[in-house]
Amino acid sequence: MAATEHPVLQTHDLTIRFGGHVAVDCVSCAFRAGTLTAIVGPNGAGKTTYFNLISGQLKASSGRVALFGEDITSLGPAQRTRRGVGRAFQLTNLFPRLTVLENVRLAVQARAGAGKNLFSMWRSHVELIEQAEHYLHRVALSDKRAVTAAALSHGDQRKLEVAVLLALEPAVFMLDEPTAGMSVDEVPVVLELIQHIKQQEEKTILLVEHKMDVVRSLADRIVVLHQGELVADGAPEEVIASPIVQEAYLGRGAGREARDA
Amino acid sequence: MIRSLLSADPPGSRLLAASLLAVLVGLALAPFVFPGARSLDVAARVAVFVLLAASYDLLLGYTGIVSFAHTMFFGIGGYGIGIAAASWGSGWGSLAAGSLAALACSAAIAFAVGLLSLRVRAIFFAMITLAVAAFFQILASQMSWLTGGEDGLNFNLPSVLSPGTKLVAAPVLGIDLNGRVLSYYLVFGCALALFLVLLRIVNSPFGRVLLAIRENEFRAEALGYRTVVYRTVANCLGALAATCAGLLYALWLRYTGPATTLSFDIMIDILLMVVIGGMGTMYGAVLGATIFVLAESYLRDLLRLASDATHGVPLLPALLHPDRWLLWLGVLFVVCVYYFPHGIVGRLRARRP
């Protein structure tokens, strides 16, 4: 079977240097379908930079990224998205003055490849609007469809960010701290969604997350980055228990965990 | 039918709809309602500048591209007709060839400028367009064997468009239907049709991507839109529409020169029309251009009346002297921008209940 020959996503010795600083240092890692991998590490460990290298916002100094066994290192972010690398951002990254529905509809339209259509009315592409409403419904934002993204609360903006990612229907979901800054009662909605994506759609999910309880409940596997290097990789209990992680990360992470709980 | 013509983008305010209808009816009936060479000339200029401002709004208001080369494309249209008519004679064939050459030339320049420089930050793009426009202006004035230099080109049009040609022997509704009236309707019809095409483009799926790029280019790229391609296409479309406006203007004036098409003053005028009317609305271009051209044409007369009426009052007649019209035009714009930061259309739409 072709699907098992190659992992969905793979990085080979992926490295990026900013001047003398090596932000991501020779990270090789493979991600298989149907698994949720949590990427953890202290602030400045290179997690978001690693994400940017995979989704194409940054160009690697050396190393390769492969999607379904195919080298995508030379492609830009737009081309990677169209091949199935979907990304939600850590800092909310929306179209502020467009409506909530339009934010999602633009993602649906991008996937449908309808953007090159110059002479039809966007309002007459009813199927795109209906699909967008469907994704909004999934994150429980349907009643806010007509307000602008800028007018949403921070938690709702995070949910909209997830809806946009769902609308791209990617093969690889990359979530960068999806629950950051959310109020306690909003967090379960997003976690349930992630759980849902994982169970029903056999998708590959990469999750950067600080909250260890979230990581424990969702992750099939944990990858630990420290100063740009991959220092641990394995099943959650194993990784959390390993001395190197206790020392390098969880010593500091324990305080954070207590605060988040 | 109307919904489809307006691309499902209704004015969205009764007052705005009424103003737009007034402009449309006024322009459509101009030869009959406002007889006289001068008012017909004003009406034709309104039609041309509505199209020119709308094409600039596509770039500035919808895509967030700040270009100072828009008059260059306007000028390419004017010189396309001018040079063709002056060197190959006044037949329809030479006009068509000149128009096609101008459109091809504009598209090529817009494509090259766009592809080479739309990757850089907005301010650098604006500087590059400024440099290219200045270069083109110098080129047009230096190559006088072709362009007539600073004097420009006077040329003849096919005889059916000349003022001496009577289309109908007897006057209709008190007006001679001569070639001038036909020219006017040619200009008006083309401008209206092209405006509706631009309105359709900004309301197409493509147009929505332009809005997305204006709002957050980084995000648009991450959704899978190759923003450089979209921006380059928008740049070319804006340039082509401006070239069409230039073609129509040259047809109307039967003259092309640096002052009427390439000058930097016109660039500022277009910018003001779009900003005063309301960026990113298309309808703003209609109101902005109409108000601007009317003010430019009739403010002097209005001031003359006011100056005469206040005769005897100290200071006022001097302030309202017709020669001060530019001052009052400036005041008008400062007031507009101050009170309508989102333009006239933005203001009217905000009143909607």
Q: What is the pLDDT of residue A66?
A: 95
Instruction: Provide the pairing of β-strand A21-31 with A9-18.
Output: antiparallel
Give, for A62, the enclosing helix (H) or strand (E). Answer: strand A62-67
Say if the Cβ atoms of A106 and B208 lie within 8 Å: yes
Residue B212 has its nearest CB partner, among A57, A77, A95, at A95
Q: Give the pLDDT band of residue A135 (cuts 50, 70, 90).
A: very high
In angstroms, the CA A21 to CA A42 distance is: 17
Same domain (yes/no): A153, A174? no
The DSSP bridge partners found for residue B244 are none
Instruction: Tell me how many domains chain A contains.
Output: 2
Q: Which of B26, B63, B80, B128 is nearest to B261 (CA)?
A: B80
For residues A183 and A250, state if they share a domain.
yes
Same domain for A221 and A253, yes or no, is: yes
Q: What average pLDDT does range B244-261 have in this prediction?
A: 93
Helix (H), strand (E), coil (C) string for B315-331: CHHHHCCHHHHHHHHHH
Confidence of residue B148 (pLDDT cuts 50, 70, 90): confident
Q: Is B26 exposed, middle or buried (0-12, 13-18, 19+ CB in 10 A)?
A: middle
What's the pLDDT band for B2 if we cut at 50, 70, 90?
confident
Count of other CB atoms within 10 angstroms of residue B217: 18
B84-121 pLDDT, tens digit per residue, is: 998 888 889 999 999 999 999 999 999 998 887 777 77
CA distance B78 to B86: 12
Q: From chain A, pick out residues whose CB is under 8 angstroms from the CB of B217.
A: none
Predicted pLDDT of residue B177: 80
Closest-CA residue of B relative to A102 is B208
At A260 the pLDDT is: 44
In this prediction, residue B182 carries a pLDDT of 92
Please state which of the ranges B103-117, B173-187, B244-258, B278-292 shows the lowest mean pLDDT: B173-187
Same domain, A155 and A235: no
Please check whether residues A125 and A152 belong to one and the same domain. Answer: yes
User: Is A98 in the same domain as A130?
Assistant: yes
Q: What is the pLDDT of residue B106?
A: 96
Higher-confidence residue of B47 and A237: namely: B47
Contact residues on chain B for A109, CB-CB shorter than 8 A: 205, 208-209
**Rounded Cα distance, B91 and B97, in Å:** 10
Query: Are A178 and A254 contained in the same domain?
Result: yes
Question: Is the CB of B225 inside 8 Å of chain A's CB atoms?
Answer: yes
pLDDT at A256 over 50: no
Evaluate if residue A36 carries a pLDDT over 90.
yes
Residue A89 lies in a domain: no
Residue in chain B closest to A95 (alpha carbons) equals B215
Which residues of B fall within a CB distance of 8 Å from A57? 218, 222
Among A2-6, B238-242, B303-307, the range of highest mean pLDDT: B238-242
Q: Which of B218, B225, B226 sits opposite A93 (nearest CB)?
A: B218
Tell me which of A141, A169, A197 is where a domain ends. Answer: A169
pTM: 0.90
Mutate to test the interface with A, among B217, B219, B226, B342 (most CBs of A within 10 A): B219
Q: Which of A147, A169, A191 lies at the terminal end of a domain, its last residue?
A: A169
- Is pLDDT at B353 greater than 60 in this prediction? no
For chains A and B, count residue pairs whose Cβ atoms are closer than 8 Å: 94
| Angle of helix B325-339 versus helix B283-309 axis, rounded to 10 | 130
Same domain, A105 and A233: no
Q: What is the pLDDT of residues A47-56, one digit of tens each?
A: 999 999 999 9
Task: Report the pLDDT averaged over residues B301-316.
Answer: 83
Instruction: Flag whether pLDDT at A236 surpasses 80.
Output: yes
Give the residue from A103, A109, A135, A176 with the most B CB atoms within 10 Å of its CB, the best one to mutate. A109
For A48, the enclosing helix (H) or strand (E) is helix A47-55
pLDDT confidence of B175, banded at 50, 70, 90? confident
Residues B2-350, CATH architecture:
Orthogonal Bundle (1.10)
Which residue range(s) make up the domain with A156?
A: 94-169
How far is CA B118 from each of CA A71, A95, B210, B229, B233, rounded to the nearest angstrom? Answer: 28, 20, 14, 9, 11
With CB atoms and an 8 Å threshold, state whether B223 touches A98: no
Rg, C-alpha atoms of chain B: 21
DSSP string, B65-133: ---S-HHHHHHHHHHHHHHHHHHH-SSHHHHHHHHHHHHHHHHHHHHHHHHHHTTS-HHHHHHHHHHHH
**Are A98 and B211 a contacting pair at CB < 8 A?**
yes
The reply to whether A80 and A35 lie within a common domain is: yes
- Is the Cβ–Cβ distance between B272 and B330 less than 8 Å? no
Q: Is B339 on the interface with A (CB under 8 A)?
A: no
A72 and A197 housed in the same domain: yes
**Residue A126 touches partner B, C-beta closer than 8 Å:** no
Q: Is the ipTM of this complex over 0.90?
A: no
Of the candidate ranges A77-91, A101-115, A187-201, B42-56, the one whose mean pLDDT is the lowest: A187-201
pLDDT at B132 over 50: yes
Whole-angstrom Cα distance, residue B8 to residue B207? Answer: 13
A81/B224 touch (CB, cutoff 8 Å), yes or no: yes
> Min CA distance, A111 vs chain B (Å)?
7
Report if residue A150 sits inside a domain: yes
Residues A174 and A72 in one domain: yes
A176 in any annotated domain? yes
Q: Mark which of A169, A200, A223 sits at the end of a domain.
A: A169
Q: Are residues A214 and A255 in the same domain?
A: yes
Residue A54 belongs to a domain with what CATH number? 3.40.50.300
